[in-house]
Structure 1
């Protein structure tokens, strides 16, 4: 098992509702084939109902995924002293158990990278990360243009142009969750070991790919957490807070977390598509119907990012920017 630094173990556990209860029946997570003409309708419905979905026929060749995963496995298998040469994260670089600067911890080590060409990367990462990110960004932009088409928005790149902008503030993250063999006893006592605590993603869109180890859970509107079956050949897409605001709440930013696995390592790679720092985030006027008012105060991505990074993961980050309406 990979050696990680050692905050008190109690910090890593969350209490489940009841120990030894029957597992929750997993609803069908929307599965969308991007090669099908009807994918536009399914994408909009998934963003409205779940804020989360899986895509196939995504156009990202397996060889680029496999190359990046191979480099990530090599990196995280290295001695801690080697990995720490790429840290501590400020905000980019190698991190270990501590997530952010506000006391959040998780059973995870990670590498957070800036997607801008001039950024510093660990050895052997630059080419494979750039190739992978360019393909995943293209896929994310295609999804957002299909959403715009179905919602009759003009121009159709109203969302995607923010990711394609040279000043786009997008980031890329590699997460490694080592196995934790002692987890079974804790689960019998109704406790789960948190790999990455519950949160929403503040950006516009997130594109996640992981290996075939379970751990990802999403929070449903009925108040239950459900496990997402792993699928290493597909991509999972999250609506981010910024897209929720731009659609005036039509699309939902889904709360999610990762819990540790007892037997196998989990590796995930996430592209977070963000707008330029100076971009103003507000509901699109073309979406507002009749007397519909904005649910959110206008803010720049810089303002929201700065505010979000001052909070704990589980905080309602959009709460500070919601308009209070008279009842």
Structure 2
């Protein structure tokens, strides 16, 4: 887990460089904190041979893990060479991410979306199981300490730009996520309503 945590930190520092955030470890230090609420999880999606093809889809895929966004700062995913990961486009359609057992897939989490005031967006995704082959995925979810305040970074707020989100702690967000449906937009509870 230490190697994937280190990779996640390097990615966050590269993102900070791109946004010209100082210090560059402002995000990665949250994962390195000894109180970090990071998790490593392995998911197994067994084949489902009883699934019948739908709408001409010869794979006969079914939902293995429902649509959602990751709540943490960043997620690093690697899987066996089996398809199944899909992301939702802005128009609501789904596209498959080609499997590549030599690559890592990086998801921006809801917390990073807030901390960048929407410059980086968490992407809704899901996993499909298929009829013939099992899918195994390993995911590192990089989370901040439970007491960490989540809000747009001051160095990203330019001029009279307003925060899109109310400040909250990671614990408050986790509690909200636990009490909501998987597919729900959990950030809506923390969005600031624009004055009319």
TM category, shorter: over 0.9
Tell me whether 1:316 sits opposite 2:163 in the alignment: no
**Matching residue of 1:134:** 2
Map 1:1-327 → 2, pairs under 5 A? 133-186=1-54, 188=56, 192-327=61-196
C-alpha distance in structure 1 between counterparts of 2:57 and 2:20, whole Å:
51
| Structure with the greater alpha carbon radius of gyration | 1
How far has the Cα of 1:185 moved from its partner? 3.2
Between the two proteins, the alignment pairs up a number of residues equal to 195
How far has the Cα of 1:189 moved from its partner? 8.3
C-alpha distance in structure 2 between counterparts of 1:154 and 1:185, whole Å:
51
Cα 1:208–1:253, aligned 2, differ >3 Å: closer, same or farther? same
C-alpha distance in structure 1 between counterparts of 2:98 and 2:124, whole Å:
17
C-alpha distance in structure 1 between counterparts of 2:146 and 2:138, whole Å:
23
Relative to total residues, which structure has the larger helix share, 1 or 2? 1
RMSD over aligned CA atoms reads 1.5
* Structure 1 gap ranges (5+): 1-132
How far has the Cα of 1:151 moved from its partner? 1.4
SS of aligned partner of 1:185: coil
C-alpha distance in structure 1 between counterparts of 2:66 and 2:53, whole Å:
20
* Structure 2 gap ranges (5+): none
1:259-294 CA deviation, whole Å, 9 max, x = no partner?
111100000000000000000000011101111100
SS of aligned partner of 2:11: helix
How far has the Cα of 1:192 moved from its partner? 4.7
Please report the TM-score for the alignment, with normalisation by the length of structure 2: 0.96
C-alpha distance in structure 2 between counterparts of 1:228 and 1:300, whole Å:
32
How far has the Cα of 1:218 moved from its partner? 0.2
C-alpha distance in structure 2 between counterparts of 1:185 and 1:236, whole Å:
28
